[in-house]
Structure 1
Amino acid sequence: MVWDERGQIRADSGERMRLNQLAPDGGGGAGTPDLASTPAQKKAAANAIEKHLEPDTKKAGDKAEESTGAAVKEFTAKDGEGWDTSAALKKAHEAWEKQVKALMNRLGSEKQALRNTSLLFQNNDIGIATQARQSSSLDKY
């Protein structure tokens, strides 16, 4: 559907977009929870990444490494003639390996971010309090 048609349908139905209002109760969308979480929830999420997601992702990557390596070896040239499948598998595996590495790096950075959030908020609070409580010439009176 083109944008003009969609806009006309919305206008005909009385549907309007308003940007100057609060989100409905319960967050930004219908039935979606707020993004706020407690320090305990952040710690639990970081622990889940560390204890489950990272090791399971590494284990899956290692298993794929073994089976793909065996397949590449099986399809390589033994008598001067090899299958194109071998080179294609090797190339696909190299791309997949990069994606797994990027995912592992992302998981690690998300874990660190979850663990550092409360410290960052605390440091911000201290910094703001220090700036707000700078000495004034009125303090002498």
Structure 2
Amino acid sequence: MELPVLVAIIVAGVSLVVLVLHVTGASAPRTLRHADDVIEALLQDYPDAMDGHVLVSADGMAGFVLLDHRKTGIVRVSGRHLATRLVNLAEVASATRDGSSVTLHFRELGWSKLTAAMRDEKEAERLRAHADPSGATVANSPEGRS
């Protein structure tokens, strides 16, 4: 088989796969729309995680479950996939807030930092206070899920 024909077949095949993925919606990015989306994703990987107050970032790309003993369940969107993590205070190097954005620095090289823009400054402060390893005031009210 000649090289130009082989290249044409490969290009046509790849184009067909891309078209099918796009038409079926498999290429659309995933978002976290509701608190239940965050809880469901976290419980799939951590079935022993208890229910807690849920915060969802403004863009729906991250969700946080504020658990007892100042543990934090984190669900992060990466394309069509979700990455989950259960973090305790010993794993957090620092938690800072700038307006409605919160940045968590972890003591792990693989996932060293996460920045999330929250819906408002109140939610941002609640997350920062819950995850802050310095022992700053914890803003943990019994409001349930948001």
Say whether the fold is shared (TM-score over 0.5). Answer: no
TM-score, normalised to structure 2, is: 0.23
Greater share of helix? 1
**Higher relative contact order, chain-length normalized (CA < 8 Å, sep 6+):** 1
Greater share of strand? 2
TM-score, normalised to structure 1, is: 0.23
